[in-house]
Structure formats: structure tokens, C-alpha cells
Chain A
């Protein structure tokens, strides 16, 4: 009876309990909110690592809530796929939490800091819960926890536009969640079960019923809204732009990635890959949509003046990459997608953290005002440059690895058209990041006054992310191996 058998549930319970304790304990001292959050996210990260290791040594972990065997009770499952995603997400969350202290103090009114950290930890709980659960209705509950917390966090932005951004996100997010709820209802009505593994067993016999097809359609639309796939992305730029900088980083780096993970689960675990490839060929539709998303995201990013908005549009393009890999549905492309989940979380997290540091020091958000910051904040800007290079996909950075596997996957699927799409988008990415780099290093010193670099507490997490961008570019074998196992598990072969 060791404690490690409870890890699948503890990874969620710890952030949740800490969220509940923050409003009580931080009555004594405001800083406790940050201490508790950092500690809880760190422990969650350690537990995730241990879970992934256990999966590697012993195989799939299954935890029965209340010891009711599935499908009657709720089952928590950790396998290669969600073990990997769990480690990635909890690592990024931990770094962002470390970073948050000063930035939150500056951007959130003092009396709201403790509620802020409570909601922050609830958001984290929701994300981690979505990853670990093996029950489709439990998934909905956690989607709603993280969404509700997300709405409030975005509304905490300094400008009043944040309120409207949050409201629109709330409306679209609720539509998405309700569609997912309806899809769950349809699946339950036809199969009588809510357990994902059990659904996988029972669904193939029902693939040609209209109910299951409609359920799939509602899942697709709902999830596409949640991950902001191109035509349904309208909530995202405003939300990322006006949110407090910590929340912008958190949303960009983790929330959409978890959405993508849920999409992979629904497409490949609840439904089998044959369903999207053969029974109803929506995979083609997703490939086209993601190609449009890749190009349009990059094009729209070109024209932006506000750096956060530029990064937000760039995220839409990057989501396109991930969905492209999923929709091509072969081993290499799925590996590419999963590696890109890690890489994009690292790169976008790092970029948003640097932007947050600049806002903390100067309040600048306009790209034109970045002139001369390279000399004033050399370390932050170095991190920015590394992450930007990785976004472009320069060899020896992490971004290159995932694009390489995506291109291989596209060739294997016979979709060679996608290779030029990836190349063109990389070029566009290089152009829009060049604008920023150019302003930082090669234009005059227009930033007046004394500005020094960001405090150490902010620099360390930023550099950790930037270092990882390089590290996983050179030592790519670690994510490649794990995602290889995950992809094999998902589609065989």
C-alpha cells in the first residue's frame, strides 16, 4: 500500500486542495497564495514524471475511483499519450507559476491576489483532470472547471476590452462545451456506457447509425471551438491580447494543448482511426482546414502591431500544424503533432513570458516600441530570439524536429502538397518574427529612461523554457521515443 498507487488521483487532488486552502491561508499573508501554488504545481510535476516512468516500466496504469470497476465507476487511465502530455503541461505550468509572482503583483489589484491564485489553481486542476481522466463525462466536468476559471482569469486584464474578450470567450466556450455534452449524451444513449475504453469496444458496431455520426460532428465542432481551429478562432486573439500576461502565457502554452489532447483522445481512443479515415472521411476536411489555418494564422500575424496579438495569431497557425498531424493519421505525423505540442508549449510559453517581462518593466506592447530593447534587456531578448528561431524551425532548435516529422508524415500519407505549406508558413513566421528582432537589435535606442533587465525570478523560468527549446532540438531522442510509443498505441504499426 504505497502512496504511489494513488498518483493518478493525487496529481489532480493536490492542486485542487491547494486551491481550496489558498483563500483560507492567504488571509494571513498575501504571498502564501504564490507559495502554495508553486509548491503544488511542483509536486504535480514530480508526480507526473513518476507516472510516466511507471508507464514506461510497468505499462498502462488504471485507477478505479471508489474501487468501482469500470464501466460502472470512473476510471483514471495513464498511458504513454497522456503521461507524456501530463509531464509537458505540468512542467510548463510549474515554470509559469514560478514566474507569476512579480507580474501578478503588478497587474492584479492587491486585494484580489489571493482569489487570483485560487482561480489559477482551479484552472490548473481542470487542465490536469482533462488529461488523466478515462471517463468521458468526467472529462466534461473538468473542461467546465478549467473554462470557468479561464473566463474569470482573462477578465482580470487591465483594460476594459478584457471584459468583452472574456464574455465572448464565455459564450463561445459554453456553446462548445454544450455541444460536447450533447455528443456525450448521444454516445451514452446508443452504447449505455461512459467509459472511454468501453466506448471504443462498443462503438464500431454502431458506426453507420446517424446518431453516432451526429455525435461525432458535435464533438468535432465543440473541440475545434475549444482549440480555436481556423474558422472558429475568433475568440482567441482578443482573449490572449487582453488577459494579464501570466494568463496569456498560461492559456497559449497549455489550454489549447490540452484541447488538442482531448481531440486526439476522442478521435483515436473513443472512435477508432478507421472512423475518420474510412467510415466518414472527415480527415480530409481536417487536413484542408489545418492547411488554411497554418497559412492564414501566419498571414494574419504579419499585419499586427500589438506583439501579443501577433503571437496569438501565430498560435492559430501552430494549432493548424498540430491538427494537420492528427488528421493525416499515420505514425510519423502523429509523432510530429505530439512533439509539436511540447515544442509549441515551450516556445509560445517562453515568448509570452518575455512579453510579460517587458510589460512588467516598461508597459510596452507595441512592436514598434521594442526598438533598442536588445541593449536594455539583453537576457530577456536573448530568450525571445531563441524561442523565435525555434518557432521558425531553424535546425538545431526544437521547432525543426516537429516540422520535420510533420513533413515526413505528410509524405507518407501521400499529401506532398503539405510540405510546401509547411515551408511557406515557416517563411512567413520568419518574416513576422524578423520585424520584432529587427526592432530589438538593429534600430535606434528610442526607449528612454533607465530600464534594466527583468528580475531573476522572471528570468529563470523564461530561460528554462528557452534552454529546453535548444535542448530538445539537439537531444530530440527523448520526446521522439516517447511519442513513438504513444503513436504506436494510438494507431498501431
Chain B
């Protein structure tokens, strides 16, 4: 699909919207259907679409292998970090209410948002990894 200008332009137009939607789904998980996994997969799909249209090498320019690998780990680290912050704040692991952020509800919101972002990051990065590493074998 490297020569088809229509597909290329449409992809370039679509990818940002898909990504915004992905972020929306991650952030919106608390009040509607959605959450880190679903949003993460949507985010990953946007990059996968880009890779399908422009090829692996172009895709790797967008998300380099190094950044991809670091994102894999960072997501889990954010999740674990939120849990450990709760422990440092004097609660149990993942006890968001205890975080010193004003009201307990707000702290709980922020804690959940934090872990959803972590989950989304790992899921998106791993989806891209899975696709690119597998697709590369076809060469």
C-alpha cells in the first residue's frame, strides 16, 4: 500500500482521531464503558494502521524500538508505582483513598486514573510490539 496516495492521506488524517478516541476511552473508563485495556488497544491499533499503510520502517520512525520497549515497561511501573505510593502514604498496596490529594473520592479517582494510564500504556506498546515483531518475520 506504499504507492496508494488515497489510502496514505486518509490514514494520516485518521490516525490522530483514532488516538484522541483512544485517550478518551482511557480517561472515560470511570463513568462509561472503557478503560485502560480498551483504550490501549485502540491507541495501539492506530499505530498498527500506520504501520500497515506505510511499512514497518516508516512505522519504526514514528515509534522507535527503544521508545516502544521503554513504554512496555513504563506502564507496569506506573501501576506498581501508584501501588507503592499508596504504601508510602501509609495505606495498603493500591489503597487509593489514602493518597494525600484532598478528599478520599478525589484521591480514589486519581489513583484509578493513574493505573488506567499505566495499563493503557503497556497495552498500546505491547500491541505495537506484537504486530511489528510478527510482521517483520514475513520479509
Contact = CB atoms under 8 A, between A and B. Distances in A.
Q: Do the two chains touch directly in the complex (Cβ atoms below 8 Å apart)?
A: yes
A13 B86 CA distance: 14
Contact of B80 (A1, A13, A23): A13
Given A16-B76, A65-B94, A67-B95, 10 more contacts: A16-B80, A17-B77, A20-B76, A21-B73, A23-B70, A24-B73, A63-B93, A64-B92, A66-B95, A67-B98
Q: How large is the interface on B (under 10, 10 to 19, 20 to 34, 35 or more residues)?
A: 20 to 34
A20 B73 contact: yes
Contacts of B34: none
B91 interface: yes
A6 B93 contact: yes
A65 B77 contact: no
Interface in A120-145: none
A69 to B, nearest CB: 11
27 contacts: A1-B90, A6-B92, A6-B93, A9-B92, A9-B93, A13-B80, A13-B83, A13-B84, A13-B93, A16-B76, A16-B80, A17-B77, A20-B76, A20-B77, A20-B80, A21-B77, A23-B69, A23-B72, A27-B66, A64-B92, A65-B92, A66-B92, A66-B93, A66-B95, A66-B96, A67-B92, A67-B97
A23 B67 CA distance: 12
Contacts of B77: 17, 20-21
A23 B125 CA distance: 14
Nearest to A13: B80
Interface in A1-54: 1, 6, 9, 13, 16-17, 20-21, 23-24, 27
A1 B92 CA distance: 10
Interface string A254-266: 0000000000000
A66 B69 contact: no
B10 to A, nearest CB: 35
Contacts of B83: 13
A67 B96 CA distance: 9
A17 B86 CA distance: 16
Task: Assign chain A's interface to a size class.
Answer: 10 to 19
A6 B87 CA distance: 8
A16 B84 CA distance: 13
Contacts of A6: 87, 92-93
Interface of B is mostly: helix
Contacts of B86: 66
A67 to B, nearest CB: 4
B134 to A, nearest CB: 15
Contacts of A20: 73, 76-77, 80
Contacts of B90: 1
Interface of B: 66, 69-70, 72-73, 76-77, 80, 83-84, 86-87, 90-98
Contacts of A9: 92-93
A64 B86 CA distance: 13
A67 B90 CA distance: 11
B35 to A, nearest CB: 17
A474 to B, nearest CB: 41
A65 B93 contact: yes
Nearest to A114: B69
B95 A17 contact: no
A63 B80 contact: no
Best-surrounded residue of B76, B83, B93 (most CB of chain A within 10 A): B93
Nearest to A24: B73
A76 to B, nearest CB: 9
Closest 7 CB pairs of A and B: A66-B94, A67-B92, A67-B95, A20-B73, A9-B93, A20-B76, A66-B95
Interface in A387-426: none
Contacts of A65: 92-94
Residue picked from B72, B76, B92, most chain A C-beta under 10 Å = B92
A281 to B, nearest CB: 42
Contact of B91 (A17, A21, A23, A67): A67
A33 to B, nearest CB: 13
Of residues A1, A20, A27, A65, which shows the largest number of chain B Cβ atoms within 10 Å of its Cβ?
A: A20
Contacts of A17: 77, 80
